[in-house]
């Protein structure tokens, strides 16, 4: 009986961890790509994610008001609209806060990133209020799968299934774009040697803007999915989720795209196993301890390449 319980918790926490990890991974992509291309940590990225949750709620309300009642159509429309507008946010943030500082010290854009983060938080607080907002659950129902032979079950709601499908699909699409298209090649070239890429005719400023747009779009996908799942959010959710996603990016090796996805999944699974089997109050402690451990043995992260300094 105890074994069945453990198996049941294990299966349920695997599902929960995958969902949590997929969203961390999606957000971590923004951190890792921006770091890879201009070597800065975009602390405003968590706030972009928060903004996307609000945008999703707004689009949902507006589209519903105009009579769009079919749930699948509504989901697709909200996702596309949110991704588009959030990508615009990412583009503007790069244009206004980081591009003018491109040739200054490395620390300057870090400070503006913190500034942008505060501005976005307070802008949303003033515009939308400090109380937490919610969206109605659009998808009801769940699948119940049997686990083991003693009648244990694991429950996957439709929203959770949607999260897993959309998250992994968008990661696959992004990987394909980066590996197979000429734009992706230009991104990778700019990441390796920005000056050389410019001398080969690549408009590196544009590529950097594209990377910010991609990062924001991925965060927006996560934002829509998470707010569909939990149903409520406030102006402060960007902070802790952003820190977690950043941790995932560092865990996987910052600068590495598959690393961000892997780091997100590992962090999500670790957190949810710890919460399920040990103590849910200390799951964050465990996640960060994991980070410390990994960095002691692999300072460049799981899939990151060690920096070789030429003497």
How many C-beta neighbours within 10 Å does residue 158 have? 15
User: Is 45 in contact with 215 (CB distance < 8 Å)?
Assistant: yes
Would you count residue 195 as binding another protein (CB under 8 A)?
Answer: yes
Would you count residue 199 as binding another protein (CB under 8 A)?
Answer: yes
- Distance from C-alpha of 212 to C-alpha of 22, rounded to nearest angstrom: 20
- Distance from C-alpha of 234 to C-alpha of 237, rounded to nearest angstrom: 6
How many C-beta neighbours within 10 Å does residue 294 have? 18
Would you count residue 70 as binding another protein (CB under 8 A)?
Answer: no
Least distance (Å) between residue 185 CB and another protein: 5
Would you count residue 193 as binding another protein (CB under 8 A)?
Answer: yes
Would you count residue 202 as binding another protein (CB under 8 A)?
Answer: yes
CA distances (Å), origin 301, targets 189, 244, 282, 297, 308 = 22, 15, 23, 9, 15
Would you count residue 151 as binding another protein (CB under 8 A)?
Answer: no
| Region of 72-80, 116-124, 201-209, 283-291 interacting with another protein (CB under 8 A) | 201-209
Would you count residue 277 as binding another protein (CB under 8 A)?
Answer: no
| Region of 53-61, 64-72, 73-81, 190-198 interacting with another protein (CB under 8 A) | 190-198
Q: Is 53 helix (H, G, I), strand (E, B) or coil?
A: helix
Residue choice 150, 181, 232, 279 for contact with another protein (CB under 8 A): 181
Strands 142-147 and 133-134: unpaired
CA distances (Å), origin 176, targets 17, 85, 169, 185, 264 = 25, 23, 11, 11, 19
Least distance (Å) between residue 93 CB and another protein: 18
Residue choice 73, 126, 131, 176 for contact with another protein (CB under 8 A): 176
| Region of 44-52, 60-68, 176-184, 267-275 interacting with another protein (CB under 8 A) | 176-184
Residue choice 164, 198, 243, 290 for contact with another protein (CB under 8 A): 198
Query: Which residues contact another protein by CB under 8 A?
Result: 173, 176-177, 180-186, 188-189, 192-193, 195-206
């Amino acid at each position: 009986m105890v074994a069945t319980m453990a198996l049941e918790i294990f299966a349920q926490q695997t599902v929960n961890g995958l969902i949590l990890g997929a969203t961390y991974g999606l957000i971590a992509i923004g951190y890792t790509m921006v770091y890879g291309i201009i070597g800065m940590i975009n602390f405003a990225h968590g706030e972009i994610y928060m903004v996307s949750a609000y945008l999703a709620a707004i689009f949902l309300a507006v589209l519903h008001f105009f009579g769009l009642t079919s749930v699948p159509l509504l989901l697709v429309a909200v996702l596309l609209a949110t991704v588009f507008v959030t990508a615009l946010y990412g583009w503007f943030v790069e244009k206004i806060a980081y591009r003018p500082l491109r040739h200054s010290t490395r620390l300057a854009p870090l400070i503006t990133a913190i500034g942008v983060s505060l501005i976005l938080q307070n802008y949303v607080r003033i515009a939308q209020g400090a109380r937490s907002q919610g969206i109605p659950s659009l998808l009801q129902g769940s699948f119940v799968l049997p686990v083991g032979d003693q009648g244990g079950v694991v429950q996957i709601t439709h929203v959770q299934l949607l999260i897993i499908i959309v998250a992994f699909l968008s990661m696959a699409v992004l990987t394909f774009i980066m590996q197979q298209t000429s734009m992706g090649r230009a991104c990778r070239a700019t990441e390796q040697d920005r000056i050389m890429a410019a001398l080969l005719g690549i408009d590196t400023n544009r590529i950097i803007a594209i990377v910010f747009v991609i990062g924001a779009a991925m965060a927006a996908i996560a934002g829509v999915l998470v707010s569909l799942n939990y149903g409520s959010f406030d102006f402060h959710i960007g902070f802790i989720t952003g820190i977690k996603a950043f941790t995932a990016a560092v865990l996987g090796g910052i600068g590495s795209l598959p690393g961000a996805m892997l780091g997100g999944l590992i962090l999500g699974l670790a957190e949810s196993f710890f919460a399920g089997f040990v103590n849910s109050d200390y799951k964050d402690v465990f996640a960060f301890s994991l980070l410390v451990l990994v960095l002691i043995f692999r300072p460049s992260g799981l899939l990151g390449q060690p920096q070789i300094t030429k003497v």
